[in-house]
Amino acid sequence: MLGFLEQIINALLLGCNYALIAIGFSLFFGALNVVHFSHGDVCILGSFVFIILYMLAFSVKLFNVLPPCFGVLVLIAATVVITGILGMLFEKVVIKPFRNSNALMPLVATVALGLIIRETIRLFYPEGSNPQIFPDVLPQGYFDISGFILRYDNLIILFVTFAVITLLFFFIRFSSKGRAIRAVSQDTEAAMMMGIRLDSTIAMTFLIGSGLGALAGILNGAYISLIRFDMGLMSGVKGWSAATIGGLGNIYGAIIGGFLFGFVETFACAYVPGGTAYKDVFAFSVVIFFLIFRPSGILGEKVYEKV
Amino acid sequence: MQGDRGYLDKVKIFFAECFLLGLFILFMRVEHIIGILILIFGMGACWYIYDKLENVQISIREILKREKIFSMILTFVILVCVPIFLKDSVYLLNLCIWAGIYVMLATGLNYQIGSTNIVNLATAASYGIGAYTSALISVHTGISFWLVILIAGCASGFMGFILGLPTLKTKDYYLTLVTLAFGLIVYLVLNNLEFTGGPNGIGDIPPPTIFGYSFRQDLHIFGMTLPYHVNFYYLVLFLASFYTLISNRLYHSRVGLTWNAIREDEIAAKCVGINTTNYKILSFVINCFLDGMTGAVYAHYVSFISPENFQFFLSVVVVTMVILGGIDNVFGVVFGAVLLTLLPEKFRVFQDFRLMLYGVIVIATLIFRPKGLFPQKLRKYAEG
Quick one: average pLDDT of B130-136? 90
Mean pLDDT of chain B: 83
* β-pair type (B219-221, B224-226): antiparallel
pLDDT at B340 over 60: yes
| B47 touching A (Cβ < 8 Å) | no
Quick one: average pLDDT of A293-306? 70
Closest in A120, A280, A305 to B184, CB measured? A280
| B358 touching A (Cβ < 8 Å) | yes
pLDDT at B3 over 60: no
pTM of the model: 0.86
Within-domain flag for A274 = no
Distance from C-alpha of A105 to C-alpha of B244, rounded to nearest angstrom: 25
Distance from C-alpha of A48 to C-alpha of A32, rounded to nearest angstrom: 27
pLDDT tens, A91-145? 888 888 888 777 778 888 888 899 889 888 888 888 878 888 888 777 777 777 7
| Residue A146 Cα, gap to closest chain B Cα (Å) | 38
Ranked by mean pLDDT, the top range of A1-10, A80-89, B172-181 is A80-89
Are B62 and B52 spatial neighbours (Cβ–Cβ below 8 Å)?
no
Map residue B273 onto helix, strand or coil: coil
Q: Which of A289, A291, A294, A306 to mutate to test the interface with B (most CBs of B within 10 A)?
A: A291
pLDDT at B2 over 60: no
Can you state the angle between helices A198-224 and A176-186, rounded to 10 degrees?
Answer: 100
Distance from C-alpha of B223 to C-alpha of B221, rounded to nearest angstrom: 5
* Dihedral angle of Cα B174, B179, B180, B185, to the nearest 10 degrees: 130
Distance from C-alpha of A200 to C-alpha of B149, rounded to nearest angstrom: 55
Quick one: average pLDDT of B117-143? 87
Q: Is A109 within 8 Å of B355 when comparing Cβ atoms?
A: no
Mean pLDDT of chain A: 84
Among the listed residues A131, A24, A32, the one whose alpha carbon sits nearest the alpha carbon of residue A80: A24
Length of chain B: 384
CA B135 to chain centre: 21
Within-domain flag for A206 = yes
Tell me which residue range forms the domain holding A136. Answer: 14-237
Within-domain flag for A305 = no
| Residue B166 Cα, gap to closest chain A Cα (Å) | 6
Question: What pLDDT score was predicted for residue B289?
Answer: 93
pLDDT classification of B294: cutoffs 50, 70, 90: very high
| Residue A124 Cα, gap to closest chain B Cα (Å) | 11
Q: Is B320 within 8 Å of A112 when comparing Cβ atoms?
A: yes
Q: Is B323 within 8 Å of A108 when comparing Cβ atoms?
A: yes
Domain count, chain A: 1
Distance from C-alpha of B231 to C-alpha of A278, rounded to nearest angstrom: 40
Are B113 and B333 spatial neighbours (Cβ–Cβ below 8 Å)?
no
Within-domain flag for A146 = yes
Q: Which residues pair with A151 in a beta bridge?
A: A142
Quick one: average pLDDT of A174-202? 87
Neighboring chain B residues of A35 at a CB cutoff of 8 Å: 173, 176
Within-domain flag for A152 = yes
Distance from C-alpha of A132 to C-alpha of B279, rounded to nearest angstrom: 48
Distance from C-alpha of A3 to C-alpha of A5, rounded to nearest angstrom: 5
- Structural domains of chain B, with CATH: 1-85 (no CATH), 89-368 (1.10.3470)
Within-domain flag for A182 = yes
Q: Which value does ipTM take for this structure?
A: 0.84
Question: What pLDDT score was predicted for residue B292?
Answer: 92
pLDDT classification of B155: cutoffs 50, 70, 90: very high
Q: Is B189 within 8 Å of A116 when comparing Cβ atoms?
A: no
Map residue A248 onto helix, strand or coil: coil
Question: What pLDDT score was predicted for residue B1?
Answer: 45
pLDDT at B376 over 60: yes
Question: What pLDDT score was predicted for residue A85?
Answer: 92
- Beta-carbon contacts of B44 under 8 Å, excluding residues fewer than 6 positions away, are none
Within-domain flag for A1 = no
- Least reliable range by pLDDT among A60-64, A263-267, B94-98, B300-304: A60-64
Within-domain flag for A37 = yes
Distance from C-alpha of A42 to C-alpha of A121, rounded to nearest angstrom: 11
Question: What pLDDT score was predicted for residue B158?
Answer: 92
